[in-house]
Amino acid sequence: MPPRKSTKRKLESSPALISKEDASAIISQLLKSHQKYYDKFTKEVARNDKLVPLDKWRNEFPETLKERYNTDPKSLLLTKPELIRLMDWKLTKGKFRPTLFKLLNQNSEESIETATKDGFAQFLELKDSEEVTKDEYLTITKKSIQTLSTLRGIGPATASLMLSLLSSITNLAPPFFSDESAEWTFVKIRGTEVEKLKYSIGEYMEYVEWWFDLIGPKFKECGALLEQGAWCERLKDLGMSGDDDDDIARDIKKQKTE
């Protein structure tokens, strides 16, 4: 089949939930938090020495996928070793859930490559669109999340992490649904105290809609940095300071293994 022609339109959103002034202030806050705390907090919450190199790999991996895509769009997929390494990063940085590794390993190499190839291709239907309504964006994101979630051990949170890796290919790569950034975001959305996450696709879509309204067409420019900034803000709310001798960091390490 000949390649689909892209539709050059301008990004738009249905009535924004966040004013331009509030969005600007939030973006500034999160970028500053990322710059000041991200590296410190990453080292502090690590249960072992492997998080820092894993974090470096995760932050550089979108460029690897971009090279793969530019060579042949049909080759854009994750291999089983890559997905296992990505899960290792997720569980080392966040709450450790050993059963996810067992479930993930039950997937064949072929099933992982097929699901990631299809899920990425579905999302990249938006790649060259300069205009997409919020409803269109949420629909294609949900469809891609559902495709990736057909793999054992992959739920909306890990599927969102996989889609976030497309940030070097498309401006619209959605944010990762990390525990801490989600908790911080839902406090902003709902104006309530932190609530226990359900990790459902409906909850993720509420999360990604807020980020769409916040960032608009700037996902590629700073989406990952802002999600990481929200992660820092949540750790600050929990009392972390980034000091070398941080009792809160030790408590968080303990909680992640329980």
Tens digits of residue pLDDT in 152-161: 999 999 999 9
Q: According to the model, what pLDDT value does residue 244 have? A: 53
Going by C-alpha positions, the residue among 164, 16, 167, 170 that lies closest to residue 90 is 164
Round to whole Å and give the CA distance between 19 and 225.
21
Q: What is the CA radius of gyration of the chain?
A: 18
- Does the pTM exceed 0.75? yes
Residues 6+ apart with CB under 8 A from 24: none
pLDDT of residue 219: 63
Tokens, residue 30: 């999160």
How far apart, in Å, do the first and last CA atoms of the chain sit? Answer: 51
Is the distance from CB of 137 to CB of 123 less than 8 angstroms? no
Q: Give pLDDT, residue 251.
A: 52
Enumerate the domain spans of the chain. 20-257
Q: What is the pLDDT of residue 7?
A: 35
Residue-wise pLDDT for 213-239, tens only, equals: 888 756 656 788 899 999 999 999 999
Q: Which two tokens stand for residue 188?
A: 């902003």
Regions of the chain short of the pLDDT cut 50: 1-16, 246, 248-250, 252-254
Would you state the pLDDT for residue 152?
98
CA distance 171 to 169: 7
Q: Quick one: pLDDT at residue 218?
A: 60
Instruction: For residue 113, give the H/E element and its range.
Output: helix 109-123
Q: What pLDDT does residue 216 have? A: 73
**pLDDT for 224:** 85
Rounded Cα distance, 77 and 83, in Å: 10
pLDDT at 158: 97
Residues 229 and 222: their CA atoms lie apart, in Å, by: 10
